[in-house]
Chain A
Amino acid sequence: MRELEARRVSFSRQGRGLILADISFKLPAGKKLAILGANGAGKTTLLSLLGGRLSPDTGGVALDGENVGTIAPRSLARKIAFLPQIERLPFNYRVLEFVLMGRAPHIAPLSLPGAPDEAIARSALAELGLAALEALRAGEISGGEFQLVRMARCLAQEAELLLLDEPTSLLDPANAQRVARELAALASKGKTIVFATHDIALARSLADLILVLGNHGALRLGPPAEVLMPDCLGQAFGVEFGMEKVPTAYSGLS
């Protein structure tokens, strides 16, 4: 079980100045945190800081009390899996070959994955309902299926904490709902999940906690019902928000 804590994290980039200031939160194991904000608000940067791929200027990120910046890369990869918003598929790997790559942190540099690793990759595919795809080439499946296959690769990593950058942004409602349902199921099995999104409906339906990012910092942190208010969202996205009932594909998730 993994508890994630950000303590007064600030980060700036040369030429762009301050990007994030004084971000703090504590996410208990098995919970889902949505990082909500406009394009350029620093969502991906915050995910990189949480995953130890960037170091904060001040403050720190701890996983079960251990500073992520001090954990060796291979060891860290066994604790935290990261799914970028998009990635290039350089060659047309078969689905099982692609998911098997998630076993990398468990395999020494000069070794190959063995039968137990293949079994874990297969069970990750089965967990997401993708067992039938394993022999297909990753370039031949739909965009929604490919997104789930990438998630299966994260699962094969067997990390307790999943960091997901815009996991549904490129998907139609049916595939977005499928991804969201799988994320809810994973959290119910004990995975701690942090996802960045600008999809308010997804954040409301899936997350236990929402962190709304505004200009450089956290505007609000709390459960969806407390956070998703027109004033806060208006400030985050720079447009006026009203309250209306609209159809959503994510009903009944959390």
Chain B
Amino acid sequence: MKPTLALKVSFVAALVATFLLYLFAGRYPRPGFTNPASLFSDETARRIFFSIRLPRALGAILLGAVLGGSGAAFQTIFGNPLVDAGFLGVSQGAAFGAAAALVAGSLPIVKAMLPAFAINAFVSFASFVMALAALGASLALSKRFKFGGQVLRLILAGLAVSAFFSSLLAAVKYVADPLSQLPDIVFWTMGSLTAMGWQRFWTIAPVSLFSLGFLFLMRWRATLLSLDDEVSRSMGLRPEIERAAIAVIAATGVAAVTAACGIVSWIGLVVPQVARIYAGSDGRNSIPLSMAGGAIFALAADGIARTLFPGELPLGIVTALLGAIAFAILLASRSTEMAR
């Protein structure tokens, strides 16, 4: 029942192997793998390795772990394998915040107030705030709805809030300068780890690690919340409060990484399905393995995004492409964890 030791070891080994491959793969001094010896002899190679690839690799691990872990947590607490953090409006809220900040950032008055290096931080901050605002709006709206149970109300509220922020995003795109601002907005919504340096890594690490730690500790509790509310209540849980607490903390982690990296889709949806196939549905196993699997997937996808072509591909394109193919192969070839 428990994932065997071999399964745990294979996930850890795959993570370490992907991490090392990621660190040594690149285009300096020529496309291919960096010779480890050059880290001792070549100052530029050392700088690329420690100042660019290492924080970016760690950022990819955080991004993937947060998206995979929160996806697994959301699917478990809502007893629905087809949800992730995006369905509470977090992604659309983050996208609107970033787009609005990108447009506002080029206004003369804002330019005068903010130094050039602070514009990126301003975009991330606005994105994080709007992601949380969207989450708050979804939760508040779901409490106002007088239709359905808690899960249905949350999904419906998330749909409405997502649509609301999508339309605001479209409005911002419409008024954005098509030559200078619109490409930035489109690029942001495709997701990327290009700007992930040490500073950005340390900005997202505390919130991400807190969210990951909380989800890890609550992984069995999340499993209990997958049962019908009247059952979990009869076991002494307070399902509405506990589900909301897990959803808010999972979504806060997603808001933090999305603010830093843009919208990276499919990891939160696909990775938990794979984890459940290998480790079973119990959150004690599926949530930690989704974190590890998400980290592996994000590392691999970003490795491909930055090395396959001379110019970088946006990460979101690669995750969606790989995710869609993996999804199709998985569902066609393996039995899933869906029940009666």
Contact = CB atoms under 8 A, between A and B. Distances in A.
Nearest to B242: A109
Contacts of B235: 77, 101-102, 104-105, 157
A60 interface: no
A101 B221 contact: no
A73 B233 contact: yes
Interface stretch (A5-13, A15-23, A83-91): A83-91
A76 B236 contact: yes
Interface stretch (A92-100, A183-191, A213-221, A233-241): A92-100
B282 to A, nearest CB: 5
B339 A139 contact: yes
B53 interface: no
19 contacts: A53-B233, A73-B233, A73-B238, A84-B228, A84-B230, A88-B79, A91-B226, A91-B338, A92-B338, A93-B281, A93-B282, A94-B282, A97-B1, A97-B223, A97-B280, A101-B223, A105-B236, A109-B218, A109-B242
A198 interface: no
A1 interface: no
A78 B237 CA distance: 12
Contact of A90 (B219, B226, B242, B280): B226
Nearest to A74: B236
A53 B230 contact: yes
Contacts of B340: 88-89, 139
4 cross-chain pairs, A with B, having the tightest CB-CB distances, nearest first:
A90-B79, A77-B236, A91-B281, A74-B236
B234 A82 contact: yes
Given A88-B228, A90-B339, A157-B235, 7 more contacts: A77-B234, A88-B79, A90-B227, A92-B338, A101-B227, A104-B232, A112-B284
B197 interface: no
Interface string B211-230: 00000011111011011101
Interface in A101-134: 101-102, 104-105, 107, 109-113
B240 interface: no
B38 interface: no
Contacts of A139: 338-340
Interface of A: 51, 53, 73-78, 80-82, 84, 87-94, 96-97, 101-102, 104-105, 107, 109-113, 135, 137-139, 157
Contacts of B224: 101, 104
Interface of B: 1, 76, 79-81, 217-221, 223-224, 226-228, 230-238, 242, 276, 280-282, 284, 337-340
A112 B219 CA distance: 8
Interface of A is mostly: mixed
A68 B166 CA distance: 48
A111 B284 CA distance: 11
Nearest to A82: B234
Contacts of B227: 87, 90, 101
B235 to A, nearest CB: 4
B282 A73 contact: no
B297 to A, nearest CB: 21
A73 B237 contact: yes
A74 B340 CA distance: 29
Contacts of A111: 220
Contacts of A90: 79-80, 226-227, 339
Contacts of B237: 73, 104
Given A90-B80, A91-B226, A96 B1 contact: yes
B213 to A, nearest CB: 10
B233 A138 contact: no
Contacts of B276: 91
A84 B238 CA distance: 17
A92 B339 CA distance: 5
A90 B282 CA distance: 11
Contacts of A91: 76, 79, 81, 226, 276, 281, 337-339
Nearest to A103: B235
Nearest to A72: B236
With most chain B CB atoms within 10 A of its CB, the pick from A80, A91, A138 is: A91
A135 B234 contact: no
Contacts of B284: 112
Contacts of A157: 235
A53 B339 contact: no
B83 to A, nearest CB: 12
A66 B3 CA distance: 44
A84 B227 CA distance: 12
